[in-house]
Amino acid sequence: MTVSFALMGKYAFVTGASRGIGREIAEALAGAGADIAISARNIADLDATRTAIEATGRNALAIALDVRDTGACRAAVHHAAVKFGKLDILVNNAGYEEVCPSLDIEEAQWDAIVDTNLKGAFFAAQAAAREMKTGGGGSIINLCSLTSYVGIPTAAPYTSSKSGLLGMTRALAAEWASLDIRVNAIAPGYFHTAMTDGFYASESWRETMIAKIPLRRFGKLEDLAGVAVFLASEASAYITGQCLPVDGGYLASI
């Protein structure tokens, strides 16, 4: 094949990489050849991810980071770029969700969700773009959601943040194309992670959701690995401003 999915010689930063989707993507990028900076609020939570990355023969840099802290976000991205010598890939995966009837939502709850999912992603992307523009460009991948497209009851702040993230993806792609920085997104469908564990505890919920998914199964974390590598690599060199749903056909069927 002449198309390259290889990431040898590339350096990536993955936020929210201690578990679930973030860990899966970090390990996938490492498996494709990239060295990875990984972050989470508690640095000790990154031990397993760091070990898995190093087992592939790649370098791992663990950084404690709460993406809601704009100054810390900028500093962490810059630190990774200095440590590696450049930054080629950013994956904005850090996220937070808390369901609540919209009539009962408090300002602090709104801020915690939106600041993590949208504000944090923007300032991480801004910091990465500042490094990438002097390093030959790069690829930014945002983790959107099915709620970037459809409304979910009791999830107004989360839906707002993920809809905003999709709009941000398109806006930054249009603005930063001249810097050779591509900005795309992935919209996972229904994946069982620690953040969504409460939903999957209900058998009736599982049965209802499976019936809405044409492939008749929930997503496996490895279903996201190839998409992330594709968007990070030269195989997607002419793709920017797009969001790829990985949802078993859910959006196509509603």
Q: What is the mean pLDDT of residues 153-164?
A: 97
What pLDDT does 1 receive? Answer: 60
| Three-class SS state of 37 | strand
| Mean local confidence (pLDDT), 178-200 | 93
- The distance from CA 107 to its chain's CA centroid, rounded to whole angstroms, is 25
Is the Cβ–Cβ distance between 198 and 98 less than 8 Å? Answer: no
Report, as an integer, the average pLDDT of 85-102.
97
pLDDT tens-digit map of 234-248: 999 999 999 999 999
Check residue 219 and report its DSSP letter. B
What string of DSSP letters covers 51-108?
Answer: HHHHHTT--EEEEE--TT-HHHHHHHHHHHHHHHS---EEEE---------GGG--HH
| Residue 244 bridge partners (DSSP) | 186
Instruction: Identify the H or E element spanning 8.
Output: none
* Contact assessment for residue 16 and residue 93, using Cβ atoms and an 8 Å cutoff: yes
Average pLDDT over residues 65-90: 98
Distance from C-alpha of 105 to C-alpha of 156, rounded to nearest angstrom:
9
Give me the pLDDT at residue 129, please. 98
Distance CA 209, CA 198 (A): 14
Flag whether pLDDT at 145 surpasses 80. Answer: yes
Annotated active-site residue 158? The verdict is yes
Looking at residue 168, its amino acid is M
120 CA to centre of own chain? 12
Catalytic residue from among 11, 96, 149, 158: 158
Could you tell me the pLDDT band of residue 93, with boundaries at 50, 70 and 90? very high
Neighbours of 91 (CB within 10 A): 30
Model pTM?
Answer: 0.97
Q: What percent of the chain has pLDDT over 70?
A: 99
Q: Is the pLDDT of residue 9 over 80?
A: yes
Domains along the sequence of the chain with CATH = 11-253 (3.40.50.720)
Residue of 188, 97, 186 whose CA lies nearest to 140: 186
